[in-house]
Structure 1
């Protein structure tokens, strides 16, 4: 789909501004703090961040990643989240145009970014995101072209059930939790938005990438077999890959060797 440069810029800016809010969610939600108030402030000196120092990406670059008042460093994660959100918004707009599908899937991608960074930091996946997300995804399936409500419902059931089976099976065999229950709810949310067909793809990609990363980290850290690695980010990677390239990759795979 072709669209003017101004539309592309507007989509990226919308995403970057949304990313600025996502940074607030990523920091405050695990601490059970309000994401609405108080406004953004420097964690070192407590000085409120003024509006002209809160422009996504640009302000961080101009201030060289430091507080204007006390020169304390701001994490590079802030502009990174804004950049990723901007790019996802732009790619979704390019793929779907200004449609309801674009708005719903942008909501999904924004939620997945929050889940990713919270899981990296705290190894938790907030129910405040996944449980409403499951309901919203299912409801949206009644008004969007795809997935159908049946595919969405089956995506929820199979997504949750497949990882719940792994969770309880590992717990029964070893007496330890090998995977958090939040991962199963996250995959159920992905299934609600993307449908049943996405689940095998997401499981395969996330397992492959997670295994490669896990083996690499174990090799670097002394082969600790009990090394805790958050699985949510790999589920997110699989979901985003499916969203943009899933059907093409599946078709390519099915035609291998023919």
Structure 2
């Protein structure tokens, strides 16, 4: 029941993320002016701002001028809802500590959607989103550790953030054209969340980013959609790799170790 409710809440968050993705890279306010049709400038009414449903009712067009509304908007809303439901399923709530952990990973899910889309659109990971995410992660996981008396997980999270930050920083220094400093800062965020769950989760989440991103890059080159020097945003692959680590990282790590032990 909780995953369903959280998923419905995710639809609303997805609607807000559409605004974040559009306005944050432009340096615009998230609260004003109200959202409006880009063609006729008519403010969007509450009845036309219901996640997914309004787009279907309007058949993907503005009620006033019939300007097409990108299908990306309902897809982001629906995708965020599904992602929130999966996070709630992954982190069941048993007590106050687990509730805080759920909130922490829901925040990561929302940030992941926004950052992935922004990086795809403008090849940038804005500090306005990444830097506060570090603070939020540390605060929420510290509260969870205090409630559960689980200081080991918090220490591992801190080390995970430091390790992943350091590894990406060294890669940036060694090959500056390969990634930006935004990737390095995002690595710190993901290291904290992955480290909280375990070293195996951290290892799988970190490696999955390079494997998935590498396969995608090779596929583009083979299909002649990109050259060897083409710039491909790596942030989405970092986030997808982290999702793999959070979802099945421990099982994958245990299976890998089982091959040698």
> TM-score if structure 2 supplies the norm length?
0.89
Partner deviation per Cα, 1:17-70 (whole Å, 9 max, x = no partner): 011001100010000001111111111221111111110011111212111111
Q: Which residue of 2 aligns with 1:84?
A: 79
SS in 2 for 1:35: coil
CA distance in 2, matches of 1:256, 1:74: 51
Q: Which stretch shifts more, 99-108 or 195-204?
A: 195-204
Q: Distance in 2 between matches of 1:222 and 1:84?
A: 26
Pairwise CA distance, 1:222: 6.1
Matching residue of 2:96: none
Superposed, 1:24-173 pairs within 5 Å as 24-98=19-93, 99-145=99-145, 148-171=153-176
Whole-angstrom CA distance in 2 between matches of 1:160 and 1:113? 21
- Residues 1:25 and 1:222: Cα distance change in structure 2 (over 3 Å): closer
**Greater displacement, 109-118 / 199-208:** 199-208
Unmatched 5+ stretches in structure 1: 172-176
- 1:11 and 2:33 aligned: no
- Whether the 8 Å CA contact 2:194–2:205 is kept in 1: the answer is no
2:24 is the alignment partner of 1:21:
no
The CA distance in 1 between the partners of 2:82 and 2:130, in whole Å, is: 23
Counterpart for residue 174 of structure 1: none
Alignment of 1:183-194 (within 5 A): 183-194=183-194
* 1:214 paired residue number: 217
Residues 190-240 of structure 1 show CA distances to partners (whole Å, capped at 9, x for unaligned) of: 112231724322221111111111111122336511111000000100111
CA distance in 2 between counterparts of 1:213 and 1:37 reads 38
| Contact persistence 1:138–1:193 (CA under 8 A) | no
Cα distance in 2, alignment partners of residues 26 and 222 from structure 1: 25
Count how many residue pairs are aligned between Structure 1 and Structure 2: 248
**Structure 2 gaps, min length 5:** 94-98
Question: Does the Cα contact within 8 Å between 2:55 and 2:61 map onto a contact in 1?
Answer: yes
Q: How far 1:257 moved relative to its partner?
A: 6.0
- Any idea what SS the aligned residue of 2:168 has? helix
Q: Aligned-pair RMSD on alpha carbons?
A: 1.8
